[in-house]
Amino acid sequence: MKKRISCLLLCLLLIWSLCGCVKTVQLNERAIVEAIGIDYQNGAYVVTLRLLDPNEPDAEGFLSVSEGETILDAIDHANRKQGREIFYNHNNLLVMGQQAAETGLTYLTGLMDAAGHARPNTSVVLARGKASEVIAVSAKEGLSAKELDTAIENEEKSGAVLKAYLIDVAKRLNDGSGSFLLPTVSANEDSLMLDGAGLVKSGKLAGFLNTDDLRGYLWLAGNLEDAVFTANDEEYGNFTLAIKNSKGEIVPTLQDGKLGFSMKVTVKAHIPILKNGEEIAQDREKQQKLMATAELAIQNELLHTLDLFQKKNADVFRLEERLSQRYPKEQEERRKVEGPTVFQLPTKITVSVHFIGL
Amino acid sequence: MKTNVKISGSQLAGILFLSQVFALLNFTPPGNNEVKPWLVLLGILIGFVVKVLFFVPFYVLLGREKEKNLIDVGYHAFGKGGVIFAILFLVYLVFIAGVTTAQFTSFLNDRLFTGTSQLIICITLVLAALYGAYMGIEAIARTASIAAFLLILSVVFVGVAVIPRVEVLNLKAFLPPSAQELWQYTLPFISMPTDLLLFALLRPQMKGNTKKSVIGSFALTTAVLWVSTFFIYTVLGGLASRVTFPFYTLSTLAEVSIFRRLDSVHMMIWVFVTFIRLSVIQFCIARVLGYMLPFKVRRSYPAIGAALVLALSIWFTSRYGIFYGAYLFQYTPFVMVLFVLLIPAVLLVGQLIRKKGKNEEKN
């Protein structure tokens, strides 16, 4: 009997905890954050929050702008300005203003560490201009942060832009070189344009890459799918490859005691139709000529991008780390003598384009 | 509290696995300044071998003694002096239960539900575990089987989901380690012998092959730890040493098709794991108290044990500095040397002396 009473009392005590250990916040008392924009102006950080109205979830929502000496300070001000409790867990997008990115991005890691302000898989984009404008246009056009995120994902496959998550940014900022690319978005009066990328070096925005430059990077680093690439042949003029997929590979090499790299790009593309409408599906000779032209064009694009990274001394491909992993002793010796930079090491680039049937 | 029920070897393996794999929740890879992922992965494998070696004296002491736990062996060898072993076990178990409760409370408070009352979480956890301890080892073992299955499923899901994010480059170069490095990277995986001590206390409650169950649980723990650590490093890179709960960060990234944002589901499984670990520890505390308190209050043993655990965990949660020190202390070689090397050695010597004495008496 005593045992039964003890068990009953224990169960009753446990029921006490079922009411929860945090105060209840009703949905209409919450301000749900869908996107965060971060700008830096006049020595202060300006945070623009795009908030959803829980009473009208389909509406464009409303914006909340606040200022602070640091990002977290600005976010804290936003919390105080709102009559509702700000809920960050559904935040899908983090837009960095150009000036804020030029000031430095290292605090983004802190934003992920700080309780619940941004999840590690939040998309990060860089605004060519102000982040607040991007947030405002997206709200005005009724483009949800999730839709923008999906658009980036789709555009990445076509090579127009690349996707970056907060966790990736935090990882690269934590790496030695701290060089990486972020997708860029620009806001016009009533539209948003995704194009190219921002180059971040040592935690700060160091410049922009246009779409062609970015594709040079994506040939090696990304997996292009369903993208198009136009090349020019002296004999047949412009022709466009419909790329089915492409894969890049960077392998460190050691030949005659010298470190270097072998970079390989393999592209599978549909057989092009020439400008004059001529089909070359049956013409092996023409195919080979166009393949060689496309390979050369891709190689040039790649060399151009490598040259750009070299000028900025931005090790976006983590070349130093690749050497350290594959040839640790030789790499250590190389570092000691401070010889040529990693971009000046002998690099063999191989591009192969394979035409596949219609 | 049901004490006369026996559990199977596989059920014991499930309990030991869960009690040890809990470390994964707060697992921060060793090596603060320079991360050497290969060494961590190697340390886990070496840790397995060392733990099997640690098991040998326990097996010699308890393998054939079906009705005795390590404290019984102590009493048998040293008479009333055996109470020292009971006291040592009690201190260690209360300490580990207190750290576990505080650790999980801090995790819930830091990551999932910020602003929750730590006191209420502590009380709820300890009360739930007390209920488990009252239900007895068989009930705990049955629940542990389900929890172990769910946990393995969760680790597999997280692993599969993060495969596209794996960067082998993050593993860095494998350089032959020095002996000091090997020790440094193996120590975290062998220094907390909770599973061995639980086995030492639960021995009379189990039937079946002890060797197979214990080594099987070590192997399962090693496999789960190794796979999780591999993904932690290859996905998070250098960030693995910076984030407070790397495995949780990994689970927030795990998305497959429509299965998204399941981190809270994963963490529910961890609540389950914590409940099992605390229940079994509180069950063992109650058994140890039986050697020190009068028999007539036997029904209150679990409640007394729970009160001790609760008091310690509340103290830990209110003093972060002390909690952090206690958390680090459980990974120091001191605990390992005392419980895994010194106590079994003393008991073995005690047993030998007693046997010799008996033989001499006979002669």
d(CA B280, CA B288) in angstroms, rounded, equals 12
Instruction: Give residue-wise pLDDT tens across range A230-288.
Output: 888 888 888 888 888 889 999 999 998 889 999 999 999 987 777 777 777 778 888 88
Q: Is A328 on the interface with B (CB under 8 A)?
A: yes
Walk along chain B (363 residues) in steps of 10 and give the mean pLDDT of each run: 76 92 75 77 94 93 83 90 93 95 87 77 93 93 93 91 91 88 88 89 89 93 94 88 82 76 77 93 95 88 95 93 90 89 92 83 76
Q: Which residues of B are less than 8 Å from A119 in CB distance? A: 252
Contacts of B65 (CB under 8 A, 6+ apart): B72, B73, B203
d(CA A93, CA A90) in angstroms, rounded, equals 9
d(CA B118, CA A318) in angstroms, rounded, equals 43
**Is the model's pLDDT at A81 over the cut of 80?**
no
Q: Which residues of A212-227 are buried (b: 16+ CB within 10 A; e: fewer)?
A: ebbbbbbbbbbebeeb
CB B230 within 8 A of CB B40: no
For residue B2, how many other CB atoms are within 10 A of its CB? 12
Give the DSSP H or E segment for B190. helix B179-190
A175:B237 CB<8 A: yes
Mean pLDDT value across chain A: 84
Contacts of B226 (CB under 8 A, 6+ apart): B41, B44, B45
Enter the ipTM: 0.82
Instruction: Report the chain A residue with the minimal C-alpha distance to residue B126.
Output: A14
Instruction: Give residue-wise pLDDT tens across range A9-58.
Output: 877 777 766 666 666 777 777 888 888 999 999 999 999 988 887 666 66
B257: exposed, middle or buried (C-beta count within 10 Å: 0-12, 13-18, 19+)? Answer: exposed
Instruction: Give residue-wise pLDDT tens across range A101-131.
Output: 999 888 887 777 655 667 888 889 999 999 9
Q: Which residues of A are less than 8 Å from B172 in CB distance? A: 321, 324-325
A121:B255 CB<8 A: yes
Task: Please give the pLDDT value at position B100.
Answer: 94
Interface test with B, best of A112, A150, A171 (most B CBs within 10 A): A171
Task: Please give the pLDDT value at position A114.
Answer: 53
d(CA B154, CA B101) in angstroms, rounded, equals 22
Task: Please give the pLDDT value at position B129.
Answer: 95
Torsions phi, psi for B180 (to 5 deg): -65, -40
**Is the model's pLDDT at A149 over the cut of 90?**
no
d(CA B237, CA A10) in angstroms, rounded, equals 45
Let me know the angle formed at the C-alpha of A119 by A158 and A201, rounded to the nearest 5 degrees.
60
Task: Please give the pLDDT value at position A20.
Answer: 63
Torsions phi, psi for B262 (to 5 deg): -95, 15
Let me know the angle formed at the C-alpha of B225 by B106 and A109, rounded to the nearest 5 degrees.
50
d(CA A118, CA A89) in angstroms, rounded, equals 7
Gap from B169 CA to chain A (nearest CA, Å): 7
Tell me whether strands A44-52 and A30-41 are parallel, antiparallel or unpaired: antiparallel
Let me know the angle formed at the C-alpha of A211 by A208 and A216, rounded to the nearest 5 degrees.
95
**pTM for this structure?**
0.86
d(CA B296, CA B286) in angstroms, rounded, equals 14
Task: Please give the pLDDT value at position A157.
Answer: 74
Gap from A33 CA to chain B (nearest CA, Å): 16
CB A76 within 8 A of CB A62: no
